[in-house]
Amino acid sequence: MILTHFQTMCLFAFIVSVVFAFLSRKHLKERLRYALYAFLAFLLVAVAMGWLMYPISH
């Protein structure tokens, strides 16, 4: 099985966000909101860190 780096990161972010939401929130609406927030935060931080490290690799 071959996944790209971005696909792997999305899979990781999605699953961890869902688990965090289920462990830390009780109601479905809160869980959905928290999972979406955590997922977007994972992606945003990862992309931002990638761009911050971009000058180091060039």
Q: How far is the CB of 35 from other proteins (least distance, A)?
A: 10
**Alpha-carbon distance 16 to 14, whole Å?**
6
Q: How far is the CB of 48 from other proteins (least distance, A)?
A: 19
Per-residue buried b or exposed e for 6-29, using 16+ beta carbons within 10 Å of the residue's own CB? eeebbeebeeebbebbeeeeeeee
Q: How far is the CB of 52 from other proteins (least distance, A)?
A: 20
Q: Which is nearer to other proteins, 16 or 43 (CB)?
A: 16
Q: Catalog residues that contact other proteins under the rule CB under 8 A.
A: 1-3, 5, 8, 11-12, 15-16, 18-19, 22-23, 26
